[in-house]
Amino acid sequence: MYSEKVMDHFQNPRNVGTIADADGVGQVGNPVCGDMMRFSIKVKDDRLSDVKFQTFGCGAAIAVSSMVSEMAVGRTLDDAMTITNETVAEELGGLPKNKMHCSNLGADALHAAIEDYRRRQTPGYTGPEPQPLADHHHDEECTCPFCEGQLDHGKKEFCRACQLEFEDCPACGGLSKAGSETCVTCGAPMKKDEGSEVG
């Protein structure tokens, strides 16, 4: 269903997290599927010197965000604005049709961050502070981020079709591949302190 590149960017996402003193922040979301992406950027000499993202959504949404961040770092602002959702999908080796308009929103979020940066450069600009990214919540009907099949519940979530095990992030509740050091959604450490079992 997904290319090797998509799987790689989901399992090993690049540039997850936030930039505390970001020069621009952009957020987009799809209310139908619930995917939400936020990009924060640093700009130096009209180039993107740093790009970070937070994404709540499926594996495709995370892979798209990771790829966009990788494609954008080092580019001029005008050049980064030419990155499209279509070129991102091509770079990832393609996305399933049902993911093209649902999860492939990374370029839109990047463009929103650049536009936010440019607005902030306007004399006298006082814009709104970015709102917190909506918390991801999954329940008994939780599905695999790759194939969207139902997960078996136990100590960890397991997808029989993909033969992959997932676990909940203690910070945001999103799913990451079991054994990951950081959450692919929010970038927080996956390991809880010993003895702080959440029941």
Please give the pLDDT value at position 195: 46
- Average the pLDDT over 150-156 and give the result: 62
Each domain of the chain, given as residue ranges in start order, spans: 4-120, 136-192
Residue 181: count of CB within 10 angstroms of its CB: 8
β-pair type (157-159, 47-56): unpaired
Q: Give CA–CA dist 47/79, Å, rounded.
A: 9
CA distances from 196 to 54, 171, 192 (A): 26, 13, 7
pTM: 0.67
Least confidently predicted of 29-38, 91-100, 177-186, 190-199: 190-199
> Which residues are known catalytic residues?
33, 102
Least confidently predicted of 10-19, 22-31, 61-70, 153-162: 153-162
- Average the pLDDT over 62-71 and give the result: 92
- Average the pLDDT over 158-166 and give the result: 68
Please give the pLDDT value at position 24: 95
- Whether 177 shows a pLDDT value over 80: the answer reads no
* Complete DSSP assignment for 180-199: -SB-TTT--BSPPPTT----
Choose the CATH number for 4-120 among 3.40.50.2300, 3.90.1010.10, 3.90.920.20, 3.40.50.720.
3.90.1010.10
